[in-house]
């Protein structure tokens, strides 16, 4: 008998038929003697619809109330799935984040899981119940509902698996596993049999939406091995685990794209210590994530900083930067450019192979795609390109690294 945590995403519970399909899959596990804790997302599109409703009432709703609203999507789906299970003879109990003992902290709409008091889950399991837990939500120590950021049910599932010491943790979704690139963008992408935490973490943090990046970080920290696989078939998926030596033989594990990026350039900054800290500090205070950072000295001997961020954050960034810049220098100015996208190549094999950047840049050059900013880490190279060229860029780089499924 195994204790299995299964996470089903929005598409997998996106209709009544899909919910019935999930119930049958859980029943199949129960029939062979396994215990199941299912962690469920809202039905596909529901979270987006709730956000749209909120924005109709107020362009800037309070995040406290947004959390109360958004968490209701998962509350619907856990009840429906529990009903579907009971209907086919599997006794099941739903549990909200609060009932499942998930304590969170941090900001509303992007809470962090602090701890899980698994007493309720373990007592239900001791009674041999099947439990359906609401993903994406928890409760603060003050008793407020908090959500975990978009895609946060992945994090709920990994944390629940860790807290109850599950034998298996499966992330069931609408693709067969983690591919070398988004199969919707790169039709020749291949399913990976395995991937290391670090590689998936890097991919997820630069746009690969198949797993929420914070969930992979949590899995790595607590050593939760998990599998990403399809909720619609029984094909083997992708095992996400610690790296091992054989993994380094592959130079690039995957290619990722991130759309809707904007570049912000600040010019006319005095070239003295402390300036970058002031600028980035203002953005951090406004909780704006910035990514690629390039600094240099311009012809006027002033420093020039460029960085990328999501286009949605551009307005808030300008507001946050304005007072700081006028304090720093009367010549300081901001330029912005939207309509760019980021292409990244990731692989732990990069540590032991040279010439990776050259190969990527050559492939883009041959395709007539111009590179904007560049940044690298030990296992990742990212470049910006015009957004309307990003899909072609992903395909040519995928081919250049021999990742195509022939
Ligand atoms: P869920 O609703 O199950 O959480 P998501 O929509 O969040 O599912 O994630 C699955 C989607 O991730 C797939 O439909 C796929 O288009 C996208 N995706 C992006 N990059 C990849 C990749 N490298 N491998 C697999 N899927 C990817
Ligand atoms: N329903 C939430 C979202 O759409 C959480 C999730 O699906 O993981 O982001
Ligand atoms: Mg998801």
Task: Check whether 57 has a pLDDT greater than 90.
Answer: yes
The CA 401 to ligand 1 mean position distance, Å, reads 22
193 CB-near residues (< 8 Å, 6+ apart): 236, 238, 239
Q: Count of H helices and E strands in the chain? A: 11, 18
Name which residue sits closest to atom 6 of ligand 2, judged by CA: 151
The CA 325 to ligand 1 mean position distance, Å, reads 40
Name which residue sits closest to atom 9 of ligand 2, judged by CA: 150
Q: Is residue 202 part of a domain?
A: no
Q: Is residue 106 part of a domain?
A: yes
Reported confidence tier of residue 239, pLDDT bands at 50, 70, 90: very high
Reported confidence tier of residue 209, pLDDT bands at 50, 70, 90: very high
* Percent above pLDDT 90 for the chain: 88
d(CA 171, CA 200): 14
pLDDT at residue 275, rounded to an integer = 83
255-295 confidence digits (pLDDT tens): 999 999 999 999 988 888 888 888 999 999 998 999 999 88
Verify whether ligand 2 is closer than 6 Å to residue 110 (CB atom). Answer: no
Reported confidence tier of residue 329, pLDDT bands at 50, 70, 90: confident
From the CB of residue 319, how many other CB atoms can be counted at a distance below 10 Å?
A: 11
Reported confidence tier of residue 311, pLDDT bands at 50, 70, 90: very high
Q: Is residue 185 part of a domain?
A: no
Task: Check whether 83 has a pLDDT greater than 80.
Answer: yes
The CA 58 to ligand 1 mean position distance, Å, reads 31
Element (H, E) at 280: helix 275-285
Reported confidence tier of residue 365, pLDDT bands at 50, 70, 90: very high
Q: Is residue 211 part of a domain?
A: no
Asked if 41 contacts 153 with a C-beta cutoff of 8 angstroms, the reply is: yes
From the CB of residue 292, how many other CB atoms can be counted at a distance below 10 Å?
A: 21
Q: What is the torsion angle, in degrees rounded to the nearest 10, for the CA atoms of residue 190, residue 195, residue 201 and residue 207?
A: 0
pLDDT at residue 296, rounded to an integer = 86
The CA 77 to ligand 1 mean position distance, Å, reads 20
Q: Which ligand is nearest to the CA of 148?
A: 2
Which residue range(s) make up the domain with 136?
3-174
* Token pair belonging to 105: 């902290």
Task: Check whether 313 has a pLDDT greater than 80.
Answer: yes
Q: Which ligand is nearest to the CA of 185?
A: 1
Over residues 365-377, mean pLDDT: 96
pLDDT at residue 271, rounded to an integer = 84
Task: Check whether 326 has a pLDDT greater than 90.
Answer: no
Task: Check whether 400 has a pLDDT greater than 90.
Answer: yes
Q: Which ligand is nearest to the CA of 190?
A: 1
For the chain, the average pLDDT equals 95
Q: Is residue 9 part of a domain?
A: yes
User: Ligand 1 atom closest to Cα of 184?
Assistant: 16
Q: What is the CATH number of the domain that holds 153?
A: 3.40.1160.10
Total structural domains in the chain? 1
Q: Is residue 112 part of a domain?
A: yes
How far is CA 252 from each of CA 27, 70, 318, 384, 398, rounded to the nearest angstrom? Answer: 39, 37, 36, 18, 9
Verify whether ligand 2 is closer than 6 Å to residue 150 (CB atom). Answer: yes
Name which residue sits closest to atom 8 of ligand 2, judged by CA: 151
Name which residue sits closest to atom 7 of ligand 1, judged by CA: 210
From the CB of residue 69, how many other CB atoms can be counted at a distance below 10 Å?
A: 17
Ligand 1 pocket test target in 151, 152, 209 with most atoms within 8 Å of CB: 209
Verify whether ligand 2 is closer than 6 Å to residue 136 (CB atom). Answer: yes
Q: Is residue 98 part of a domain?
A: yes
How far is CA 344 from each of CA 181, 220, 391, rounded to the nearest angstrom? Answer: 10, 21, 12
Task: Check whether 330 has a pLDDT greater than 80.
Answer: no
pLDDT at residue 210, rounded to an integer = 97
Task: Check whether 253 has a pLDDT greater than 90.
Answer: yes
Reported confidence tier of residue 372, pLDDT bands at 50, 70, 90: very high
The CA 116 to ligand 1 mean position distance, Å, reads 27
pLDDT at residue 276, rounded to an integer = 85
Over residues 55-70, mean pLDDT: 96
Between residues 328 and 167, the one the model is more confident about: 167
Reported confidence tier of residue 299, pLDDT bands at 50, 70, 90: confident
Ligand 1 pocket test target in 14, 15, 170, 174 with most atoms within 8 Å of CB: 174
Name which residue sits closest to atom 20 of ligand 1, judged by CA: 182
Ligand 2 pocket test target in 13, 47, 51, 204 with most atoms within 8 Å of CB: 47
How far is CA 143 from each of CA 98, 115, 137, 319, rounded to the nearest angstrom? Answer: 9, 14, 12, 32
pLDDT at residue 184, rounded to an integer = 97
User: How many CA atoms lie within 13 Å of 77's alpha carbon, on the beta-carbon side?
Assistant: 33
Verify whether ligand 2 is closer than 6 Å to residue 360 (CB atom). Answer: no
The CA 95 to ligand 3 mean position distance, Å, reads 20
Q: Is residue 32 part of a domain?
A: yes
Over residues 306-327, mean pLDDT: 92
Verify whether ligand 2 is closer than 6 Å to residue 14 (CB atom). Answer: no
Name which residue sits closest to atom 5 of ligand 2, judged by CA: 151
196 CB-near residues (< 8 Å, 6+ apart): 240, 241, 242, 243, 247, 253, 348
- Which residue has tokens 């109709």? 56
pLDDT at residue 265, rounded to an integer = 94
């Amino acid at each position: 008998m195994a204790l299995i945590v299964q996470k089903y995403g929005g598409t997998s519970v996106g209709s009544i038929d899909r919910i019935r399909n999930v119930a049958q899959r859980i029943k199949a596990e129960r029939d062979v003697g396994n215990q199941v804790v299912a962690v469920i997302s809202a039905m596909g599109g529901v979270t987006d619809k709730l956000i749209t409703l909120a924005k109709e009432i107020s362009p800037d709703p309070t995040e406290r109330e947004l959390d109360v609203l958004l968490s209701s999507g998962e509350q619907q789906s856990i009840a429906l799935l529990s009903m579907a299970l009971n209907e086919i003879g599997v006794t099941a109990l739903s549990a909200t984040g609060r009932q499942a003992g998930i304590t969170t902290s941090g900001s509303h709409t992007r809470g962090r899981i602090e701890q899980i008091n698994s007493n309720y889950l373990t007592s239900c399991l001791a009674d041999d119940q099947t439990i359906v837990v609401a993903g994406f939500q928890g409760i603060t120590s003050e008793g407020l509902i908090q959500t975990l950021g978009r895609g946060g049910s992945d994090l709920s599932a990994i944390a629940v698996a860790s807290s109850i010491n599950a034998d298996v943790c499966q992330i069931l979704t609408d693709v067969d596993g983690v591919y070398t690139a988004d199969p919707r963008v790169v039709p020749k992408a291949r399913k990976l049999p395995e991937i290391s935490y670090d590689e998936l973490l890097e991919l997820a943090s630069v746009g690969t939406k198949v797993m929420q990046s914070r969930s992979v970080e949590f899995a790595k920290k607590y050593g939760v091995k998990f599998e990403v696989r399809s909720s619609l078939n029984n094909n083997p998926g992708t095992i996400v685990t610690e790296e091992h030596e054989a993994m380094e033989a592959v130079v690039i594990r995957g290619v990722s794209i991130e759309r809707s990026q904007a570049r912000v350039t600040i010019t006319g900054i005095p070239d003295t210590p402390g300036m970058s800290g002031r600028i980035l500090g203002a953005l951090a205070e406004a909780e704006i994530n910035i990514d690629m950072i390039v600094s240099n000295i311009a012809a006027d001997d002033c420093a020039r900083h460029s960085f990328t961020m999501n286009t949605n954050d551009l307005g808030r960034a300008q507001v946050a930067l304005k007072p700081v810049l006028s304090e720093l220098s009367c010549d300081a100015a901001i330029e912005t450019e939207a309509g760019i996208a980021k292409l990244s190549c990731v692989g732990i094999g990069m540590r032991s192979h040279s010439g990776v950047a050259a190969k990527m840049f050559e492939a883009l050059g041959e395709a007539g795609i111009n590179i904007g900013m560049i940044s690298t880490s030990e296992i990742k190279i990212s470049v910006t390109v015009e957004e309307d060229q990003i899909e072609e860029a992903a395909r040519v780089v995928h081919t250049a690294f021999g990742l195509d499924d022939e």
